[in-house]
Amino acid sequence: MKLKIVGSGGMSIIPSSFCECGLCREAREKGGRYERLGPSLYIEDIQMLIDTPEDIAVACNRQNISKVKHLSISHCDPDHVKGIRIVEKIGYDFIKEKSTPVGFYALPEVIADINRMNLDCLKYYGDVLHCIDVHETSHIEIEHISIDMVNHNPDRNITFYIIREGTKKAVYACCNPKPFAHNDLYFDADIFILSLVSDNGILNDGMRLADAPFKDEIFTLDEVMELKKYYRIKKIIVTHIDEIWGKSYGYYQELEKQLDGISFAYDGMEILI
């Protein structure tokens, strides 16, 4: 199985527009892996994209992703949905007025949330433009890949993806993993891609995470290590790396040298299982 982190950023990309912080200035100067676009994952084997942040069209160009046959969106937050317009280009020819729909798969409650918050966009793309073929489901089988979609946080309807090929297993926990609800499906994953981790508890402006209003939604590194041990996970890859954490690609490169089986995503990272 081959996965690619299309975008490793969070709700604000790096560099953030208008921002003059050190992290954003460094990213503007160095480019490449110092830049992070919005959070999304591509399953190369079946040409499936998970999530469409607003910059997904740019991210696909950067990462040489030329084909999307299948699409899923994890939940209704703007940093995962607002690039949904890519389905117009992928699934509809405006010159010939001809549609070739892309398979769209999501939990029923997530589809309802996305429609409610985005002017019924999935209904429009499915029923009017016919550029997506909407499947309300919690399980997908495409070729040799199977995917279970778990509603990890029923208060907010956040989907976690358990992606399997034979005995190989990857989990994509793309956003809002806390409070962390147990699921047997997480055991013995080869790779667990986890979002929202503040490594040292100090935010971009110097404020302590412990004093921030969102403190209970963010993992600390100690908690990540506990999770790894409890679920017997071989490797954790941290993604959804927000500008507000204030840490650069170079910083994470040094940090991961000190950690056992924990690494930090970057845009274009390839994951072979």
Q: Which residues bind Zn ion (CB under 5 A)?
A: 16, 19, 21, 24, 79, 175
- Residue 33 · residue 267 · CB < 8 Å: yes
CB of 175 to Zn ion, least distance (A): 3
- What token pair was written down for 17? 């527009």
Instruction: For Zn ion, give the closer residue by CB, 175 or 224.
Output: 175
Instruction: For Zn ion, give the closer residue by CB, 92 or 252.
Output: 252
CB of 20 to Zn ion, least distance (A): 7
Residue 33: strand, helix, or coil = helix
Instruction: For Zn ion, give the closer residue by CB, 156 or 234.
Output: 156
Q: In the 8-state DSSP scheme, what is residue 9?
A: B
Name the amino acid, one letter, at 243: E
Beta strands in the chain (DSSP E): 2-7, 40-43, 48-50, 70-72, 92-93, 98-99, 102-106, 132-136, 139-142, 145-151, 159-165, 168-173, 191-195, 235-239, 262-264, 270-272
CB of 61 to Zn ion, least distance (A): 22
CA distance 217 to 238: 15
CB of 128 to Zn ion, least distance (A): 28
CA distance 205 to 273: 37
Instruction: For Zn ion, give the closer residue by CB, 19 or 225.
Output: 19
Residue 220: strand, helix, or coil = coil
Instruction: For Zn ion, give the closer residue by CB, 29 or 97.
Output: 29
CB of 152 to Zn ion, least distance (A): 13
